[in-house]
A and B are shown apart, each in its own frame.
Chain A
Amino acid sequence: MSGTMAEQPRTAVSNPPVRALAANFGPQDLLRRSATSSLPAPQRQLTAVAKLIDVSKCIGCKACQSACVEWNDTNPAIGVNTGVYENPHDLTEDMFTLMRFSEWVNPETNNLEWLIRKDGCMHCADPGCLKACPAPGAIVQYTNGIVDFIHDNCIGCGYCVKGCPFNIPRISRADHRAYKCTLCSDRVAVGQGPACAKACPTQAIVFGTKEDMTRHAQERITDLKSRGFANAGLYDPPGVGGTHVMYVLHHADQPGIYSGLPENPRISPLVETWKGMTKYVGLAVMGFAAVGSLMHGIFGRANRVSREDEENAEKLVEGRPVPPPDSEERPG
């Protein structure tokens, strides 16, 4: 391998390199690492990247799904047609991205609108999966915003599923590890955009720096507004610190109509309590109980049976007089 590093990609349409390149980011660029408190601060800040999915340009061809399967070498099982467009029926450990189709009647125009949203990991700036993960280094976040699962460290507990506000990670029943979209971190590291963006025939999926993508989104939103979509807007939800996969929506005021895209996603307060208060208070209480009893056990006075107690028991058994049973009504 050559020591030359790839440029950080500015677009998904660049051609692949003709010679081997060293990865342009790696473990030294971690912003967060699951279940790790003493992570050294990264020495440099990578440019934030983002994938922009323009729902208004999507034709529902599923080229992105095919490209994802091909690049990641997953083999989703052949499913059953139940009369819906989604194929497979949900995200799986072998299908990291899924076109979700909904037929929506716009009450203002009475037109049927076919809303097709490419679902998958949003690469949150504040990732709930990473917060919930108990296994050190199983989930990492790079300074360019990519949230990646390191499968060697994954223990298959499913905590990431509970942490995720978008219901994305899936646990493999074969190897008991969690899987999701990697934002093609392996491609990005050698100057390439994600496979789905590369394959998209209408460039509904584009990739680049988050800054460029936000600017591009604004151009698209201006265009959509000029075409009568007054509520067109960018989906980059602040509740999770913004995301590195963003949507242009023609009806950004109602994300829910796009197959249940959450209106204001955030890490569930239940998960925050579990990973915050419960952990700290719980450890303090258990530690106090353990240390307290140990100290009292060592330095306190034990409750010992006296010689007199043994004699009284012998007298009782032999039928000799002993102190009589007390009355429960006896005053204290």
Chain B
Amino acid sequence: MNQNRMSQNTIPDGSAQPSDAVHSGPPVTVNRYGPLQRLNHWITATSLILLALSGLALFTPALFFLTGLFGGGQNTRLLHPWIGVVLFVSFFIFFFQLWRANLPERTDVVWVKRIGDVVAGHEERLPELGKYNAGQKFIFWGMTGLILVLIASGILIWDQYFGEATPIDVRRVAVLVHSIAAVLIICIFILHVYAAFWTRGTLSAMTRGTVTGGWAWRHHRKWLRQLVGRRRIDPAK
């Protein structure tokens, strides 16, 4: 018992989550997201894309033609808030599974300071990282904060049900806040998608649920070491 605890203390905390696991290869593969998490992610992603398209259609006349994708302006106005509700629920189910692994830590500061090495792909000059790097955490918390702002401001300007719930001045603030938050979340979305493509080998985490051992070694070594260490202590798992 005592010995067990001691050996656990030597395992790095890489924010590994219960469903994460290593499969010895070759090639080595690592479970990163379970099937329900992936379903959750893709419902959120689909909602976000539909919200961006319908929202941009009402944001600028140049993109009003996008309402055609939703069956016209009236339908766009009708559907957009409901898709927002789907995104809100779906995102926060996902949120409660991931938030612990996204808590900030000291290595995040180092990572941000060496952002030049990150962009240049010099991973060897960075500290070993847990399940998420500071960039991923930024996307996580940025999305979290902006979705809260968007759902709150969105409800205030949901004319069909809450049109008269607040004074016009409040709704003017809400519509401005909603549009600014939407611009920001679209930028974060672009960053998220771009990073997932640029860092080759990432997409399979959200399609098959697994990444290669080399990917985990290169980008999230502390996480990989924890998973490997955990498996040795508890071979039954």
Interface residues of A, Cβ cutoff 8 Å to B:
35-37, 134-136, 153, 155-159, 161-162, 167, 171, 173, 176, 268, 270-271, 273-274, 278-279, 281-283, 285-286, 289-290, 293, 296-297, 300-307, 309-314, 316-319, 325-326, 328, 330, 332
Contact = CB atoms under 8 A, between A and B. Distances in A.
B180 A278 contact: yes
Given A162-B168, A313-B28, A314-B213, A35 B64 contact: yes
Given A314-B26, A316-B225, A155 B114 contact: no
A305 B149 CA distance: 37
Contacts of B114: 332
A312 B58 CA distance: 51
Given A316-B217, A318-B24, A325-B12, A297 B61 contact: no
Contacts of B224: 313, 316
A312 B217 contact: yes
Contact of B190 (A37, A286, A312, A326): A286
B76 interface: yes
A270 B121 CA distance: 43
A274 B179 contact: yes
B160 interface: yes
B172 A268 contact: yes
A305 B201 contact: yes
26 contacts: A135-B64, A136-B61, A136-B64, A155-B73, A155-B76, A157-B58, A167-B168, A270-B173, A278-B183, A279-B60, A283-B60, A283-B62, A286-B190, A293-B193, A293-B194, A300-B198, A304-B201, A305-B218, A309-B214, A310-B213, A310-B214, A312-B217, A313-B28, A313-B213, A317-B25, A332-B113
Contacts of B176: 270-271, 273-274, 278
Contacts of A314: 25-28, 213
Interface string B56-87: 01111110100100001110111000000000
Contacts of A326: 127-128
Nearest to B157: A158
A305 B110 CA distance: 22
Given A273-B176, A309-B214, A161 B163 contact: yes
A163 B3 CA distance: 70
B37 interface: no
A278 B110 CA distance: 34
Given A162-B172, A314-B28, A157 B64 contact: no
B77 A155 contact: yes
B160 to A, nearest CB: 7
B53 interface: no
B10 to A, nearest CB: 10
Given A35-B64, A278-B179, 16 more contacts: A155-B58, A158-B159, A161-B159, A271-B176, A278-B180, A281-B183, A293-B191, A296-B194, A302-B198, A309-B217, A310-B212, A310-B217, A311-B214, A313-B212, A314-B213, A328-B127
A156 B159 CA distance: 8
A303 B122 CA distance: 9
A167 B167 CA distance: 10
Interface string B156-172: 01011001000011011
A156 B161 CA distance: 12
Interface in B100-131: 106-107, 110, 113-114, 121, 123, 125, 127-128
A330 B113 CA distance: 14
A304 B182 CA distance: 32
Contacts of A36: 61
Chain A CB within 10 A, most for which of B25, B125, B176: B176
Contact of A289 (B110, B175, B191, B198): B191
B180 A304 contact: no
Contact of B200 (A283, A305, A316, A317): A305
B98 interface: no
A14 B219 CA distance: 83
Contacts of B64: 35, 134-136
Given A176-B77, A274-B175, A314-B28, A158 B198 contact: no
Contact of B228 (A136, A158, A274, A316): A316
B22 interface: yes
Contacts of B201: 304-305
Contacts of B24: 317-318
B46 interface: no
A303 B183 contact: no
B179 A282 contact: yes
Contacts of A281: 183
Interface in B25-53: 25-28
A314 B157 CA distance: 54
Contacts of A332: 110, 113-114, 125
A322 to B, nearest CB: 8
